[in-house]
Amino acid sequence: MRFLMKTDYYQDIRLFKYRSTFFWYLALVLGCVLLPKIIDEYMLSQLTFICIYAVAGVGLMLLTGFTGQISMGHAAFLAIGSYTSAVLTAKGVPFLLALPASGVTAALVGIVIGRPILHLTGLYLAIATMGAAFIIEEILVRWESVTNGNMGMMVDTPTIFGFGFDTEIRFFYLSLVVLILVLLLAKNILRSPTGRAFIAIRDSEIAAEAMGINLASFKTQSFAISAFFTGIAGSLYAHKIFFINPESYTIMQSIELLAIVIIGGLGSLHGAVYGSIFFIFLPQLIIISKDYLPSFVQDQTGLQPALFGLLIILVMLFEPMGIYGRWLKTKFYFEWFPLYKKDSFKREKKYQKAERH
Amino acid sequence: MAFFQAQEISISFGGLKALDRVSFTVNKGEIFSIIGPNGAGKTTIFNCINRFYDLDEGVFLLDGKSLSSAKTHQIADMGIARTFQNIELFKNMTVLDNLILGRHRKRRSNILTEMFFFKPVQRQEINSREKAEEIIDFLDLEAHRDQLVVNLPYGVQKTVELGRALAMEPTLLLLDEPTSGLNMEESEDLAFWLDDMKEELGITVLMVEHNMRFVKQTTDRVLAIDFGQTIIEGETNEVLNHPDVMRAYLGEENVCNA
């Protein structure tokens, strides 16, 4: 257990609570920078995908995990980001402009879609966002003069001031930097009034409104910023896979994004990163560990998806707070050793909550 | 002088007339209570002030300005804060964050400046924190500052909710059954705080309350309603001893026997 003697309110709004926390994050970043030296190209490419999915995950986390609004249409923003970046770079716009532009385009579309539907709640909102995503997907298919329709389009290698991100390593570093920036921006929003307003809306819309929080405005802002980050991820995604067509951005993709934030742990930025690690690495892990299984299991068809699905179910069953929740508990266990009890994290059941206000 | 006024307000839900041409006047700096049996329409008045419901007829005036055209979230900007009958705190936040959220209407930053956490945003955070600390000091919440609201006992949650309303620096504070669920000692504390709020902070308080002892102890003037209609508005003692009020509370027979 550590105690921090505080002498200034500024200490409480700092990014890192302890100096050691900063040190560990720095070590983590350095580790990521050095990682390409020891792993092969394929794994590196998977790491890049983790960064890209984590960026999109941060976007969806702000909307779903912090503001409490479910979206089943986030693949659409990924698509808008991808196409914006692909079209702009093809026209000769530098990547350094195309990257934020893809985020901004996604955010603008997010505002247009979000504003009218965001007074819906829960599953109804989920279905409405899904409907919006269908429309956008269809536009991408039909608007052939720009998107080349179902034929798809090739995407250029991104270049910044003549420096081409044409190798795995370079692109990995690019994605890593973008992820770190996005995490910083998201963290800043969360420790400011807007972030608190998001959480307030999630916890009690009535009270939030009575505090003077404009629900329509803040929900739209949340949707826009979420779309912005997802659009950025879309841009990276397009440049990573070189070739995009509307089929890459289906409802399946939206559900995967949602799964990433739920498995990672709703309501934490860490969760977005953990979730994408889980989603990208677990299938790889299953493939690798397959070699060590008895041959009659190995030869089963469909083993990988089945195991993957099973693991998702198990995480949901035993750790509803997601991977981040498990991480918190583990940390707590060591901080308070040997005082940790099984029920330390158990919530008391409440029955007196009424619907009136 | 009239600070807050309800003029002939009416609202009905389907065939039920929840409020029927109710009028009352709250003076600047006084503590005003609304009493009445269950279902009389007390909380409905609050929800109408907050614009959760739209009035069918009538108007609320704050300092002569009508609330009818304001949206729900703008009511807070006009300086009206409220608490709820069944605590509506942000349960997964700490006490401190709940109080700082009360500062939302003082926010001068926007999402773009906040993204980069520029100096003015930082200063604003510190200001909010200082104000929150004042309230923590005022309501003796020091021990609970960094705890999640969900883990606190009911009485403390009620106090936090009061604190969150105070953090908004309201001119008019609406308290919906502030003593329900509190023990004797906590009610006593609340009575002191109400007194301080009135004397030191100059806040006008409008409350719905069932605890007659508490009403007698704290309140300047009272409005009694039943079935959505005014029984009487007046000085506390006058209203509490009025035969119609006793009848509404105790029933016809008991009053005769008393």
**Contact at 8 Å (CB) between A203 and B104?**
no
Distance (Å, whole) CA A218 – CA A56? 20
ipTM score for this prediction: 0.90
Coil vs helix vs strand at B203: coil
Q: What is the pLDDT of residue B258?
A: 45
Instruction: Considering only the beta carbons, identify the residue of B86, B104, B117 that sits closest to A211.
Output: B104
pLDDT interval class at A347 (50, 70, 90): low
Do B115 and B74 fall within a single domain? no
Please check whether residue A356 lies inside any domain of the structure: no
pLDDT interval class at A344 (50, 70, 90): low
Q: What is the pLDDT of residue A131?
A: 95
Q: What is the pLDDT of residue A89?
A: 94
Please check whether residue B216 lies inside any domain of the structure: yes
**Contact at 8 Å (CB) between B82 and B50?**
yes
Higher pLDDT, residue A327 or A235: A235
Do B174 and B250 fall within a single domain? yes
Please check whether residue B182 lies inside any domain of the structure: yes
Q: What is the pLDDT of residue A351?
A: 52
Residue type, B146: D
Q: What is the pLDDT of residue B92?
A: 87
Chain A residues within 8 A of B97 when measuring between CB atoms: 196
Please check whether residue B86 lies inside any domain of the structure: no
Count how many domains chain A has: 1
Please check whether residue B161 lies inside any domain of the structure: no
Please check whether residue B74 lies inside any domain of the structure: yes
Please check whether residue A347 lies inside any domain of the structure: no
Please check whether residue B95 lies inside any domain of the structure: yes
Nearest CA-CA partner of B208 in B233, B181, B179: B179
Per-residue confidence in pLDDT tens, chain B, 258 aa: 689 999 999 999 988 899 999 999 999 999 999 999 888 889 999 999 999 999 999 999 999 899 999 999 999 999 999 999 888 999 889 999 999 999 999 898 899 999 999 999 999 999 999 999 999 999 999 999 999 998 899 999 999 999 999 999 999 999 999 998 899 999 999 999 999 999 999 999 999 998 899 999 999 999 999 999 999 999 999 998 898 888 888 776 655 544
Q: What is the pLDDT of residue A357?
A: 43
Instruction: Note the pLDDT tens digit of each residue in A24-61.
Output: 999 999 999 999 889 888 999 999 999 999 999 999 99
Residue A165: CB partners within 8 Å, gap ≥ 6? A157, A158, A159, A171, A174, A239
Q: What is the span of the domain harbouring residue A150?
A: 44-251
pTM of the model: 0.91
Distance (Å, whole) CA A101 – CA A2? 44
Q: Does A21 touch chain B (CB under 8 A)?
A: no
Q: What is the mean pLDDT of residues A133-144?
A: 93
Do B183 and B242 fall within a single domain? yes
Instruction: Note the pLDDT tens digit of each residue in A265-313.
Output: 988 999 999 999 998 988 888 888 878 888 877 777 777 788 888 888 8
Count how many domains chain B has: 2
Whether residue A352 has pLDDT greater than 70: no
Do B187 and B249 fall within a single domain? yes
Please check whether residue A70 lies inside any domain of the structure: yes
Q: What is the pLDDT of residue A355?
A: 44
Please check whether residue A327 lies inside any domain of the structure: no
Please check whether residue B160 lies inside any domain of the structure: no
Please check whether residue A295 lies inside any domain of the structure: no
Q: Which of B153, B178, B196 finishes a domain?
A: B153
Do B218 and B181 fall within a single domain? yes
Coil vs helix vs strand at B206: strand
Q: What is the span of the domain harbouring residue B31?
A: 2-79+170-257
Do B149 and B177 fall within a single domain? no
Dig out the tokens for A105 from the structure: 């385009």
Q: Which of B153, B187, B207 finishes a domain?
A: B153
CATH code assigned at B249: 3.40.50.300
Chain A 36-95, CB below 8 Å of chain B: which residues? Answer: none
Burial classification of residue B209, based on how many CB atoms lie within 10 Å of its CB (0-12 exposed, 13-18 middle, 19 or more buried)? buried
Contact assignment for B75 to A206 by CB distance below 8 Å: no
Q: What is the pLDDT of residue A271?
A: 93
Instruction: Considering only the beta carbons, identify the residue of A13, A188, A211 that sits closest to B115.
Output: A188
Q: Does A200 touch chain B (CB under 8 A)?
A: yes
Do B227 and B148 fall within a single domain? no
Please check whether residue A38 lies inside any domain of the structure: no
* Minimal CA separation from B220 to chain A, in Å: 26
Dig out the tokens for A38 from the structure: 């020891």
Do B190 and B249 fall within a single domain? yes
Contact assignment for A356 to B85 by CB distance below 8 Å: yes
Contact assignment for A357 to B86 by CB distance below 8 Å: yes
Please check whether residue A86 lies inside any domain of the structure: yes
Please check whether residue B85 lies inside any domain of the structure: no
Do B177 and B66 fall within a single domain? yes
Contact assignment for A196 to B97 by CB distance below 8 Å: yes
* Minimal CA separation from A345 to chain B, in Å: 11
Please check whether residue A153 lies inside any domain of the structure: yes
Average pLDDT, chain A: 89
Q: What is the pLDDT of residue A354?
A: 46
Whether residue A345 has pLDDT greater than 90: no
